[in-house]
Chain A
């Protein structure tokens, strides 16, 4: 049975934390339009930038990991919002045209 399941982000978060790693959890909390991953999708990040899971089809994971690393320093939480990529500013975004909000929190 287990081999059919994706590696579970919440179990990974617990295992990493138990192993003494600093861990942040990112969760898709709202979506608009054609968002790549549904509400409730998780990404788990450790202090070295290792991550498992996904909050988009790979479009914004890099940016979320970057924010998570900052939060692991400060211990605070943050709400991130991503929409269509702004080409002139070279910011990351969603090529699908959707919009997502991602809540990032440390696992204390």
Chain B
């Protein structure tokens, strides 16, 4: 493989963009296909199939190998709250990159979240540096529309593979009204998991975190294909 090709592949991976390296193991020749270019490729069907599964593999010809690079799944929790304190370490154990955004610096402190990536900014500011994508799960956990609403809209617009919001059915009803008023399509609003988390009758913050993480994993493994969402 040429170094320039390896660099191009690593560049896509660093930018959290999906790509496939197509290697002819007989000749040693290789080329890079970015997800955005996959549809027009001569191997479009095979490449899109592998992008959806996220798995590398040999094609039936026995010499064309597809190295699939899809971004690692990421969980962004809006709100440095009790649930996040339990959710962050569990999500990391489950293999997710975790980021917590909360403009309230008293909440988003290193003492409360040791070893977790914390962004003590308003979401609209924070998202300029860490934009959402199809490989991101977003859990809005503050109960505060001033903090939760913008990232929810951004998450739906970016096709995040999971979007959840804390709050009772009544709270969510008001949220839906606000989002629709703000111009979010009804079809998109329906994608929000609310009340957040699998229905396991969770009571404590730790139990709610389990319910949220389980729902995120279900969306990741069973949900609509992340690649399709991105397209």
Residues of chain A at the chain B interface (Cβ within 8 Å): 1, 3-5, 10-11, 13-14, 17-18, 25, 27, 29-30, 38-40, 76-77, 79, 103, 105-108
Contact = CB atoms under 8 A, between A and B. Distances in A.
B97 A1 contact: yes
A80 to B, nearest CB: 11
A14 B55 contact: no
Contacts of A4: 92, 97
* A-B interface, 5 closest residue pairs, ranked by CB to CB distance from nearest: A40-B56, A77-B28, A1-B97, A29-B65, A103-B25
Contacts of A103: 23, 25, 65
Interface of B: 1-3, 6-7, 9-10, 13, 23, 25, 28, 55-58, 65, 67-68, 72, 92, 97-99, 115, 117
B13 A10 contact: yes
9 contacts: A10-B9, A10-B13, A14-B3, A14-B6, A14-B10, A29-B65, A30-B58, A40-B56, A76-B28
Contacts of A27: 56, 65, 67
A79 B92 CA distance: 36
B107 to A, nearest CB: 20
Contacts of A38: 55
Consensus secondary structure, chain A interface: mixed
B56 A77 contact: no
A107 B28 contact: no
B1 A1 contact: no
Nearest to B11: A14
A1 B117 contact: yes
Contacts of A11: 10
B6 A10 contact: yes
Nearest to B25: A103
Contacts of B56: 27, 39-40
Contacts of B10: 10-11, 14
Contact of A1 (B7, B25, B99): B99
A10 B115 CA distance: 25
A39 B67 CA distance: 9
A60 B152 CA distance: 48
A29 B58 contact: yes
Contacts of B57: 39-40
Given A1-B98, A30-B58, A105 B6 contact: no
Contacts of B72: 5
A24 to B, nearest CB: 10
A79 B27 CA distance: 11
Nearest to B69: A10
A108 B1 contact: yes
A105 B1 contact: yes
